[in-house]
Amino acid sequence: MLKFYTLLAFISIAALAQSQSLIKNNLGPAQDSVKTKLLTSLGNGYFPSKYFNSDLRYLIKYNQYEGIRTGLGGVTNEAFSKRYRLNAYAVYGFRDHRFKYSIGGGLIISEKTNTWINLSYTDDLQETGSTIFLTDGRFFQFFEPRLLNISLFHKHITKAISLKHELSPKLLTETEFAISNINPTYSYGYHVNNSIINNFHLSTLKTAIQWSPFNTIKSSENGLVEINSGYPKFTIQYTKSFNNIFKSNLGFSKLNFKTIYKIGDENSAFSEFTLVSGIARGNVPITHMYHAYPNNINKETILQRFSVAGLTSFETMFFNEFFSDRFTTLQFKYYLKPFVFSTRYKPQIVLITRYAIGDMSDPEKHENITFGSLKKGYSESGLEINKLLFGFGLSLTYRYGAYHLPEFEDNIAFKFTFNVTL
């Protein structure tokens, strides 16, 4: 498995090196503009063409259920149309021998408030216990460390309609109504109304608000644009699953909150705080419960667990070890000033502390799955030394407190990190 991590990382480096090499061949002010646009597009995970931007997220990935997952996807750009867009992807998993796909589109209602109405049809997988905020910006990594070791997925076929609207340049909202058929890929049953159900039909309404009160906004030829991202940022999202609407068989509600705060200069030393919290009430299956984004493989020795550290995951927490219907996580990172050996070689030490607390009501409702509670509070601390060689670094984290394990080495997570910036 470690060979596969390394291969993916070197593929990422090769792709970056090739793109940067091509860009360096451009000459003159016009080419400088092309360079900037191409780097921005690649940083967002797109390779642009005249009318269509290819989405690099779908080229190749790996996880425990699908094995190698590869495909193509993309979205039309403004040269195709400024009024509407089309997006689609199709991928294939070599271990589960199954195609997944999505097709959708959007129509702009108001340019002034950047109001879009979107439609989509998706047949794919989602990680059990994961939480996605509608208003989160697109986040792209050339490869995703946690994805490599995730084993619990559920299949879903989802038809959705959503409305994205900017109440102000600093206040973004998005609302989505979706109908989903959900089938866990693992043996699981949920007790409800004196019976056990194994698949779930959900009709859900989600609404999210993201407030960035300290962003710096400036007028330009294209309207108001963000020139500086200020902190803190706040996001709140409410989800309601309606029972007996469009054949739905479960009713529940969820309230999620997230805030990110940075102090200091990112070119020097700075601190970063991330608080995430959630509460779920009603008949909630394990697919829609919470985990704390664990990232530790269930292996016996430190070296067998050696993998890639994530950006916001709990490195010593084992996959599927805890699930909650109410939880809070707090993460603190202190980035020391980079050690500048040359313009290209700038390794950096990051000190990290993470804490999680949570619990679950009626765990006996969940059949054929075993998990623990976070009600005593989970703690881990460690450090990273990033960008030691070709974007690679090292991470060492230690698990302590109420969930400290009897065997000393089981509390240690030793991994490498991978950071590449364009």
Residue range 111-418, CATH number: 2.40.160
- Residue 90 is predicted with a pLDDT of 98
> What is the average per-residue pLDDT within 394-407?
96
Question: Residue 32 — very low, low, confident or very high, per pLDDT cuts 50/70/90?
Answer: low
> What is the average per-residue pLDDT within 406-422?
86
Q: Render pLDDT for 346-379 as a digit per residue (tens, 0 to 9).
A: 899 999 999 999 999 999 999 999 999 999 999 9
Question: Residue 330 — very low, low, confident or very high, per pLDDT cuts 50/70/90?
Answer: very high
Residue 6 has pLDDT above 70, yes or no: no
Please give the structure tokens belonging to residue 282.
């009603």
Q: Render pLDDT for 65-90 as a digit per residue (tens, 0 to 9).
A: 999 999 999 999 999 999 999 999 99
Residue 420 has pLDDT above 70, yes or no: no
Where do the structural domains in the chain lie, given as residue ranges?
Answer: 111-418
Least confident of 150-154, 212-216, 267-271, 416-420: 416-420
- Residue 326 is predicted with a pLDDT of 97
The dihedral over CA atoms of 404, 409, 413, 414, expressed in degrees to the nearest 10, equals 160
- Asked if residue 281 lies in contact with residue 158, where contact means CB atoms within 8 angstroms, the answer is no
Tell me whether strands 84-93 and 98-110 are parallel, antiparallel or unpaired.
Answer: antiparallel
Residue 17 has pLDDT above 80, yes or no: no
Residue 230 has pLDDT above 50, yes or no: yes
Q: Render pLDDT for 250-293 as a digit per residue (tens, 0 to 9).
A: 999 999 999 999 999 888 899 999 999 999 999 999 999 999 99
Percentage of the chain modeled with pLDDT above 90: 68
Residue 217 has pLDDT above 70, yes or no: yes
Question: Residue 405 — very low, low, confident or very high, per pLDDT cuts 50/70/90?
Answer: very high
